[in-house]
Amino acid sequence: MFMIKNNLFKALLFVVVAAMIVGSILAVNYFVLAWVAPTANPPDGVSSMVNSQWADSGSDIYFTAGNVGIGTINPQHALQISNTASSDISLEATSPATGPVGSIFFEIESDIFAASIVANRQAVSNGNTDLIFATRGAAGANTERMRINGDGSVGIGDTSPDGGLKLDVEGPVGATQYCDENGNNCTAAASLGDGGDVFTRWGNSTCPANTTLLISGYGFGGHYSHTGNGAEMLCLEPNDPGAASAALGNLLYAASTGGASYMPPGITGSTILKCAVCLAPGPSFELFGSDTCPTGWTSSYTGYTMGAYYHSGHYTNSTHCVDNINFDAAQGGSGNPRWYATKVHSVDTIGSVGYTANTFVKCAMCYKN
């Protein structure tokens, strides 16, 4: 009797152990099944944690909801990579020829590229690779806008930036200032224009709007009764004299306007002549015969033409445009040389072709826009 019970107990124990082994195998099988077939639901009794949120489509898998985290259990973006040190992403082409070897595309809808960054291999032998940046414009095409060559040259609007240039731009470039390589010695763009041009404003020691003051002072020239000296009037900067000398030579005298009866409108007689040297934003010229600058040009100031008196005993001096709108008459006095209004005296030899006798000559200082 004891023997029978003992055998029965062993048989029951064998059945229980076998059942446990089979159950374990089935559980593991279903666990594996849940990973190799991620859309399959786990059988009853298998933890739901083995169910994947990824779906498959042929050889592709995809994810339609939530965020993906690598190195983090709480991703805040569609894909977030976290690491205690640097987080790196590697795009590797194992056997690339020339052409794209890695790309990042930005899509606004399915298969509509809004922008892209592409690594484009230029040579197989040495791995020379450009980095190309493209954006989608109103025309609807993802178009290259900027390229960084393998040698570091940057092209904007140029797919082949010149190797001798660090920056090669095809098209206009706008800036408010231009500085040296260290960010110092900056110059306002408005004072540069097409390279800028220097002119002298006569009758005022300040510079007009949109121009830059270089120096201010008073006009100086040769004595009106001297036959020598230079004919050109100078705008002389004060407070920086040269070495002292008692010798005679090319003698300069402070300039002034002549008597009141010889002055055009807006200019005061017997006044010491102030001046300023100014930088215009573009090429400039003195216009005589009109105070209206040509189309595409702007007047720095307008006025009347003045120069040396015609009579014997008054020798040749320069002729320039004197500002009559903002003439500075603060310092009276009669200097030598003296400037008088320039006028058209006679038109007999050319007839009536747009000139009028006995009229003052208008003028303007014009610069290119």
Check residue 28 and give its pLDDT: 44
Q: How many domains does the chain have?
A: 3
Token look-up 């006044």 returns: 271
22 plus 119 within the same structural domain: no
Check residue 30 and give its pLDDT: 43
The 10 Å Cβ neighbour count of residue 338 is 25
225 plus 300 within the same structural domain: yes
For residue 116, give the amino acid letter. S
pLDDT beneath 50, residues of the chain? 1-4, 17, 22, 24-38, 45-50
Contact 113, 144 (CB under 8 A): no
Tens digit of each residue's pLDDT (9 = 90 or more) over 14-28 = 555 455 554 544 444
Full domain range(s) for residue 24 = 1-30
Which one of 137, 169, 201 terminates a domain? 169
149 plus 270 within the same structural domain: no
* 186 domain-assigned: no
234 plus 282 within the same structural domain: yes
Check residue 164 and give its pLDDT: 76
Tens digit of each residue's pLDDT (9 = 90 or more) over 262-272 = 999 999 999 99
Check residue 47 and give its pLDDT: 43
Check residue 140 and give its pLDDT: 79
Check residue 36 and give its pLDDT: 47
* Structure token digits, residue 112: 């509509």
127 plus 6 within the same structural domain: no
CA-CA-CA-CA dihedral for 57, 61, 66, 72, to nearest 10 = 170
Check residue 43 and give its pLDDT: 52
Local structure of residue 46 (DSSP, 8 states): S
